[in-house]
């Protein structure tokens, strides 16, 4: 099962392909080699493409522009599904009044929290006047002073029992070949740990984002789960989530999981991809 295969020969048997973004299509240096060719190949075969990414820092439009700027042509806005969109939908469905507090940048707050409600950065919250705050969102690891504002968040959430949403559950993200940075999901975990509470996390491996992509896809035709291939570089998010949702899964070795780690991780985690490929190239 651990024998590596050609990605294109696998993908051609499916009616749709779901791709993770970082580690599959792009990395810290730019586009993964061959990404454009593979996208073009899938388009020619009329195979639908969706990109499922745990990211709450950029809107669909900003994501699409970013691919374009990296040199990847032809990704449409509606083909991008982010964990931030899931958080946005939740807020619209569930939080109907009050002000939404957040940890993150003005930009991510702008696009995620545009639900008609006001929003306020932790930085600007006065802990003596929190009656109006009806929910809290962990958006992004930037846009605030960690030392001051993480502590402020802990105390806000000790004083007021409100729904807390994590717009991207990833604990870390890569910043170079070897190095990573703590992501907002990691900071949220720290705060959960302080408070002994469980927040509402969005993003792979949770089914919500797969469900959204699946429903959206089915507006363009009739796709059953076994006609869709999920492609990712992370066993714990992409492959676990894809497997659980009932999709076929491919682990690519162009990102977070090296060839040497793959066998060991699969064995020790019990998370088993249907296929393994070096990358989406050829």
Measured distance between the N- and C-terminal CA atoms of the chain, rounded to whole angstroms: 19
- Binding test (CB under 8 A) with its own copies, winner from 45, 130, 172, 282: 172
CB of residue 111 to its own copies, shortest distance in Å: 19
CA dihedral 115, 116, 120, 125 (to 10 degrees): -120
When asked if residue 259 is in the footprint of its own copies (CB under 8 A), the reply is no
Is 117 near its own copies (CB under 8 A)? no
Determine which residue in the list 89, 107, 115, 121 makes contact with its own copies, applying CB under 8 A.
89
Beta-bridge partners for 164: 136
Distance CA 235, CA 3 (A): 16
Minimal distance, residue 16 CB to its own copies, in Å: 14
Tokens of 271: 């998370």
Residue from 245, 271, 242, 243 nearest 257 by CA = 271
Out of 12, 163, 223, 282, the residue judged to bind its own copies by CB under 8 A: 163
Contact residue for its own copies among 159, 216, 221, 259 (CB under 8 A): 159
**Given 76, 93, 126, 131, the residue binding its own copies (CB under 8 A):** 93
246 binds its own copies (CB under 8 A): yes
Applying the rule CB under 8 A, the residues between 66 and 85 that interact with its own copies are: none
Asked if 170 interacts with its own copies (CB under 8 A), we say no
- Work out which of 244, 278, 281, 282 binds its own copies, going by CB under 8 A: 244
53: its two tokens: 């990414």
Min dist. Cβ of residue 44 to its own copies (A): 27
178 contributes a contact to its own copies by CB under 8 A: yes
Binding its own copies by CB under 8 A: which of 78, 197, 220, 258? 197
CA-closest candidate to residue 133, choices 109, 107, 157:
157
Kindly report the number of other CB atoms within 10 A of residue 1's CB atom: 9
Q: Alpha helix locations (H) across 83-173?
A: 83-94, 106-112, 151-159
Residue 149 Cβ, how far from its own copies at the closest point, in Å?
Answer: 10
Question: Degrees (nearest 5) of the Cα angle 207, 208, 214?
Answer: 85
**Which x/- pattern over 200-239 shows residues binding its own copies (rule: CB under 8 A)?**
x-----xxx--x-------------xx-------------
Q: Name the residue among 13, 46, 6, 21 with its Cα closest to residue 221.
A: 46
Provide the pairing of β-strand 200-201 with 133-138.
unpaired
193 touches its own copies by CB under 8 A: yes
Task: Report how far residue 66's alpha carbon sits from residue 127's, in angstroms, rounded to the nearest whole number.
Answer: 37
Helix (H) or strand (E) holding 8: helix 7-11
- For the chain, give the number of residues: 282
130 binds its own copies, rule: CB under 8 A: no
List contacts with its own copies (CB under 8 A). 89-90, 93-94, 127, 145-147, 150-151, 154-155, 157-159, 161-164, 171-172, 178-182, 186-187, 189-190, 193-200, 206-208, 211, 225-226, 240, 243-248, 264, 266-272
């Amino acid at each position: 099962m651990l024998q590596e295969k050609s990605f294109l020969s696998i993908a051609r048997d499916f009616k749709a392909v779901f791709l993770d973004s970082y580690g599959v299509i792009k990395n810290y240096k730019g586009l993964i080699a061959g990404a454009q060719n593979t996208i073009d190949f899938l388009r020619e075969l009329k195979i639908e493409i969706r990109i499922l990414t745990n990211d709450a820092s950029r809107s669909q439009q900003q994501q699409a522009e970013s691919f374009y700027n990296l040199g990847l042509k032809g990704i449409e806005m509606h083909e991008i599904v982010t964990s931030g969109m899931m958080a946005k939908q939740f807020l619209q469905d569930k939080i109907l009044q009050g002000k939404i507090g957040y940890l993150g940048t003005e930009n991510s707050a702008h696009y995620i929290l545009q639900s008609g409600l006001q929003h306020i950065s932790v930085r600007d919250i006065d802990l003596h006047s929190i009656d109006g705050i009806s929910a809290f969102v962990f958006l992004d690891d930037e846009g605030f002073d960690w030392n001051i504002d993480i502590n402020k968040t802990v105390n806000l959430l000790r004083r007021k029992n409100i729904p807390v949403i994590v717009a991207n559950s990833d604990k870390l993200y890569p910043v170079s070949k070897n190095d990573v940075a703590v992501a907002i999901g990691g900071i949220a975990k720290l705060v959960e740990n302080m408070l002994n509470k469980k927040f509402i996390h969005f993003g792979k491996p949770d089914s919500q984002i797969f469900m959204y992509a699946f429903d959206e896809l089915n507006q363009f035709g009739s796709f059953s789960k076994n006609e869709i291939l999920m492609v990712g570089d992370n066993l714990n998010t992409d492959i676990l989530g894809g497997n659980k949702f009932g999709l076929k899964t491919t682990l690519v070795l162009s990102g977070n999981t090296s060839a040497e780690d793959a066998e060991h991780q699969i064995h020790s985690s019990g998370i088993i991809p249907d296929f393994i490929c070096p990358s989406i190239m050829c």
